[in-house]
Structure 1
Amino acid sequence: MFIGHFAAAFLIGYMFSGVPIIIPLLGVSFPDILWSILVISGVEKAKFDKNKPLMSDIVFESYPISHSLVLTSILALIIGLVLALFLKNPFIAVIFVIASISHWILDVMVHIKDLPVFGFSSNDIKFGFGLWRRGPLAFVAEYLFYIIIATITVPMPYLLLILFLGTVFHFININAFFGFKNEDITGGSSKRYAIVILAIFVLFILFSQIILG
């Protein structure tokens, strides 16, 4: 899931309007940004087949630090406290953690029972309802979720730009849901994939901040 996470950021920003929008934007992105850094550094593992482009074909072998409910939330709290101290607003830490937890909850909807709960053991309880197994349905569901949440929460002067932004980024990844081309653009490299994920999250945060900030 990608734009769905940013829909959650818009909703959190709407509910807590006194907090700068960059906080929920960073919070919902935190697990995947952390994941990208850890995969690039070899700490966490994922397996890709260059001839299988679908999201359901990705094997997330190990990512307890970046994608567990408990451990990732603890790390998010640390980052949130640093941001709260820097911005002199203790409530920011709470919002950052809520945003990070929303990432895990939304990922549970689409992942295939590989999301750990605690993050401290290889025998961890794992969740995932597997919507990615139905790629076209997952694509439409995430897109509708984004449109509905954005329409409700984003002020009208910025709404069209935010909808356009989400549409562009979502359709860039359309092959991962439909498999029109039987090849993965990353060439089966987990590190290359992580770099792409890091880049698109940073770009979406940047563009959203420019529009809404």
Structure 2
Amino acid sequence: MFIGHFAIGFAAKTAAPRVSLGTLFLAAQFIDLLWPTFLLMGLERVRIEPGATAVTPLVFEHYPWSHSLLAVLGWAALLAGLHFLLRRDRRSALILAGLVLSHWLLDLLVHRPDLPLWPWGGSVLGLRLWSSLLLTLALEVPLFMLGVWLYSRSTRALDGAGRWGLVGLVLFLFVVYAGNVLGSPPPSVEAIAWIGQLQWLLVLWAYWVDWHRRAVAPN
């Protein structure tokens, strides 16, 4: 799951018009923003195994601090709490918490049974949608298109940067997704971790786009 998470971030603008798209992306992708750093620190492990699933060659061996359900609930509470302290907006804080949790729920659909419920081991879950490329695309692509449509419908561009910056962001996400799904396996785990850090640039791009757009009231 990649563009599906960003889809939820786009769509959430309709429920949280005062929150920047950058912050919505940050929440929706939060645990995957943590994960590359935890890989570099040796706290979590992944293995490259071509053919492991029809969609990704990655085997997630150990990622309790970023992707266990209990940890995700903790990260959701932390991000929501920080937002509430800064903005005093309970509704938006709760939406951000829901976005963090949505990442785990979407991963639950596609992953093999490797998502732990708590950091110290035990039960793992996963519904294996990644075993079928067709089913994965049938879920993620329409979800992404819906999210982008909802965002574009609930905002309007103030200038060319707001209009074409959004187009560029959407196209770039599609290109990255196609590369992930159809491209060659990554050369190393270290490369995965460093490339994963570039996701922060997508968050900054979203902040820039949203700065050049304005939320509009629903019809």
TM-score, length basis structure 1? 0.82
Deviation at 1:140, TM superposition (A): 4.9
* Equivalence for 2:190: 191
Instruction: In structure 2, give the amino acid aligned to 1:74.
Output: G
In the alignment, which residue of structure 2 is the partner of 1:168? Answer: 172
Offset at 1:167? Answer: 2.7
Give 3-state SS (helix, strand or coil) of 2:121's partner: coil
2:146 maps to 1:142:
no
1:78–1:52 CA distance, 2 compared to 1 (3 A)? closer
Check if 1:123 corresponds to 2:122.
Answer: yes
SS in 2 for 1:123: coil
> Identity over the aligned pairs, expressed in percent?
24
SS at match of 2:172: helix
Unaligned runs of 5+ in 1: none
User: Are the counterparts in 2 of residues 113 and 127 from structure 1 also a CA contact under 8 Å?
Assistant: yes
Amino acid at match of 2:64: P
Q: Structure 1 stretch 108-117 or stretch 80-89: which is displaced more?
A: 80-89
1:75 corresponds to 2:79: no
User: Secondary structure of 1:56's partner?
Assistant: coil
1:212 and 2:216 correspond: no
Q: Deviations over 1:95-121 (max 9, x none)?
A: 32111001111111221121122x233
In the comparison of the two structures, how many residue pairs are matched? 205
Q: Distance in 2 between matches of 1:167 and 1:54?
A: 23
- What residue in structure 2 maps to residue 152 of structure 1? 150
Aligned to 1:3: 3
Deviation at residue 151 of structure 1 after TM alignment: 0.8
Gaps of 5+ in 2: 212-219
> What is the alpha-carbon distance in structure 1 between the residues aligned to residue 163 and residue 147 of structure 2?
11
Task: Tell me which amino acid in the other structure corresponds to 2:145.
Answer: I
- Residue aligned with 2:61, SS: strand
Cα distance 1:41–1:96, how it changes in 2: closer, same or farther (>3 A)? Answer: same
RMSD, matched Cα? 2.6
- State whether residues 7 and 144 of structure 2, in contact with CA within 8 Å, keep that contact through their aligned partners in structure 1: yes
The amino acid that maps onto 2:131 is R
Question: 2-side partners of 1:35 and 1:178: how far apart?
Answer: 22
Query: Given the two structures, how large is their TM-score scaled by the length of structure 2?
Result: 0.80
Secondary structure at 1:138's aligned position in 2?
A: helix
Letter paired with 1:27: A
